[in-house]
Amino acid sequence: MRIGLLGTGNVARALAGGWRAAGHDVVLGSRSPDVRGAEGELEGFVVVGLGGAAAHGDVLVNATPGTASMSVLTEIGAPALAGKVLVDIGVGFTERMELSHPNYSLSEEIQAAFPDTHVVKTLATVDSVVMTDPGSLAEAGTIFLSGDDAVAKRTTRRLLGDLGWPDASQLDLGGIVTARGQEHAAYLFMGVAESIGTYGFSFKVVRPRAV
């Protein structure tokens, strides 16, 4: 599958490496591809402009900071995003470390602004290491999906599987409105990380015993 990742940071690089290892054709999109592509941390990755990444990908992945995502997507433009699956990982924080979308979610804002794009929220509740190496956990965690388009979610589920998340560890929360829960879990995530001294963990949904 052809995947265009928007962003060149830790998350984008981790995902690009994971999906490339699984056999996908992956590029990273940057506003400054000539500058970023020459940096050592991106050695071995294909870095193109944002428009080039959008054109390349059957699936696009928003791995930009949540406060910059709308600007990046608007720059690319609705026509280039139409019909695409957009996997949104972003969570926005202000300079005061407050959620930029306290009463809704970034994913909802993206979906409303680009109605012809199929937005799926996932991977927002784990760090970049666990995203691509869930086997590093002592036991299986739970990864969540939110989105309105069933086909887009099936595509996303396959890509999660390629990163090592088995189907049993993937929990579909429902429509894009449920992305609020994933993004707003950021405060809980940071609290747990501070308490246990690592970001390398995952939440897990434990079901009740069968009666």
Name the percent of the chain lying above pLDDT 90. Answer: 90
Residue 59 lies inside a defined structural domain of this protein: yes
Q: What is the CATH number of the domain that holds 154?
A: 3.40.50.720
What is the structure's pLDDT at 43? 83
What is the structure's pLDDT at 41? 79
Residue 34 lies inside a defined structural domain of this protein: yes
Integer Cα distance of 96 and 87 in angstroms:
27
Q: Hey, what are 158's tokens? A: 């396959």
Integer Cα distance of 176 and 160 in angstroms:
18
Count of domains forming the chain: 1
Residue 208 lies inside a defined structural domain of this protein: no
- Between 97 and 180, name the one with better pLDDT: 180
Work out the pLDDT band at 38, boundaries 50, 70, 90: low
Residue 183 lies inside a defined structural domain of this protein: yes
Residue 119 lies inside a defined structural domain of this protein: yes
Whole-prediction pTM: 0.94
Mean pLDDT of all residues in the chain?
95
Q: Give the length of the chain.
A: 211
Its domain, for residue 26, covers 2-196
What is the structure's pLDDT at 6? 97
Treating both helix axes as pointing N-terminal to C-terminal, what angle do 10-21 and 150-162 enclose, rounded to 10 degrees? 80
Residue 211 lies inside a defined structural domain of this protein: no
What is the structure's pLDDT at 211? 75
Integer Cα distance of 8 and 68 in angstroms:
13
Work out the pLDDT band at 179, boundaries 50, 70, 90: very high
User: Residue 37 pLDDT > 70, yes or no?
Assistant: no
Residue 99 lies inside a defined structural domain of this protein: yes
What mean pLDDT do residues 175-202 have?
A: 97
CA-derived radius of gyration, the chain: 16
Integer Cα distance of 166 and 160 in angstroms:
8
Residue 202 lies inside a defined structural domain of this protein: no
- Between 55 and 35, name the one with better pLDDT: 55
What is the structure's pLDDT at 35? 60
